Amino acid sequence: MSIQQLLNGVSLGSVYALIAVGFALVFNILKFSNFAHGGVMTLTAYIGLAASLFFSRWLSGLPLFGATLVSAALAGAIVGIVLERMAFRRIRNNNSPVIYYFISSITMGILMENIVTIFASSTFYSYPKFFELSVVELFHVNIALTDLLMLVFSSTALMILLWVLYRTKIGLAIRALSFDVNTANLMGMDSNRVVMATFIAAGILGGVAGVFLGINYTLYPQLGQLIVKGFIASVIGGLGSITGAMIGAVLLGVLEVTLISAVGAGIAPVFVFIIMLTFLLVRPRGIAGVIVQEKA
């Protein structure tokens, strides 16, 4: 495999990582696959579009990009709050099994996708041009600028998240909650607030991911269905480990690119399945199983 291929894989992986980080955050705390995150990405991507059209009266280029990103992130935070209140608060108070979160989240995801479809599916949309679609050439290999930016953003987001999780009080609370909700409650923690904080953070990540996906792949109501890649990455990477999800995402990207060049894209899902199955049988803890343990 050439270096160019490897790099293509990593850059695809960085797209997946951006999706997976927000997904894994909720996975980490509430232990369920938050498919509504796909809906969040779609919704915020369209809100970002509206914002970019609004701001384009005064701004252009990178400042416009910044304004769009911030608006989408803010919208993501709000969507996160609404999502938590509407879809998950009551389920948590009922102490329902994890599977109810899943049902709720997938229904929410479909709902958000449909709301976008209702309001924005009579034509195609795309973001204004923020920066050149240029290619950076390093040692005879090409990297697209947007891919590079995504890698930077997802790693930055991961760093910030890790810092928040391991160096701040709210992070400590989140980790405590993810370990044992009841005990955390007994210790006088307001679990509602902590969970809310988690959803806000996930919403912000979703907003950022939405804008990037929109720039790279144009806007369409089913944009959020890319969440399945985040799902695969999170599970391969190790359940509930954010770092693991990130590694899983990059590995998934490299694996897909390798398979596409080796066997073709058409049949690649079959090989992904076989590899996944073998991997899980050999190593049921996921990739991060060890990484997390080493850290602890």
Footprint of another protein on 229-288 (CB under 8 A): 229, 231-232, 235-236, 239, 256-257, 260-261, 264-270, 272-274, 276-277, 280-281, 284
Tell me the window of 88-96, 172-180, 188-196, 197-205 that interacts with another protein (CB under 8 A). 88-96
In the shown chain, the binding pattern of residues 18 to 47 toward another protein, with x for contact by CB under 8 A and - for none, equals ---------------x--------------
**# binding residues, another protein (CB under 8 A):** 75
Using the contact rule CB under 8 A, the part of the chain among 44-52, 189-197, 199-207, 216-224 near another protein is 216-224
Give the C-alpha separation, 222 to 229, whole Å: 14
Residue 66 CB neighbour total at 10 angstroms: 13
* 3-state DSSP assignment of residue 132: coil
Element spanning 295, H or E = helix 288-295
* Amino acid, res. 135: V
Nearer to another protein, 4 or 156 (CB): 4
Say whether residue 60 binds another protein (CB under 8 A): no
- Smaller CB separation from another protein, 160 or 265: 265
Q: Which of 61, 63, 66, 129 binds another protein (CB under 8 A)?
A: 129
Choose between 86 and 160: whose C-beta lies nearer to another protein: 86
Token pair belonging to 264: 């073709």
Structure tokens at 53: 């059209």
d(CA 162, CA 59): 33
Q: Judged by CB, which is closer to another protein: 50, or 189? A: 50
Least gap, CB of 225 to another protein (angstroms):
7
222: its two tokens: 């089913």
CA distance 247 to 150: 15
Least distance between another protein and beta carbon 265 (Å)? 4
Give the shortest CB-87-to-another protein separation in angstroms. Answer: 6
Q: Which is nearer to another protein, 177 or 233 (CB)?
A: 233
**C-alpha to C-alpha distance for 147 and 59, rounded to whole angstroms:** 23
**Any idea what DSSP says for residue 250?**
H
Q: Give the whole-angstrom CA distance, residue 207 versus residue 69.
A: 7
Residue 143, beta-bridge partner list: 136
Among 10, 12, 41, 195, binds another protein (CB under 8 A): 12
Positions in 89-128 near another protein (CB under 8 A): 90-91, 94, 96, 99-100, 102-104, 106-108, 110-111, 114-115, 117-118, 121-128
Report the C-alpha gap between 213 and 272 in whole angstroms: 23
Asked if 34 and 12 count as a contact pair (C-beta separation under 8 A), the reply is no
Residue that the structure tokens 């950022």 belong to:
208
CB of 106 to another protein, least distance (A): 5
- Find the binding residues for another protein in span 142-161 (CB under 8 A): 142, 144
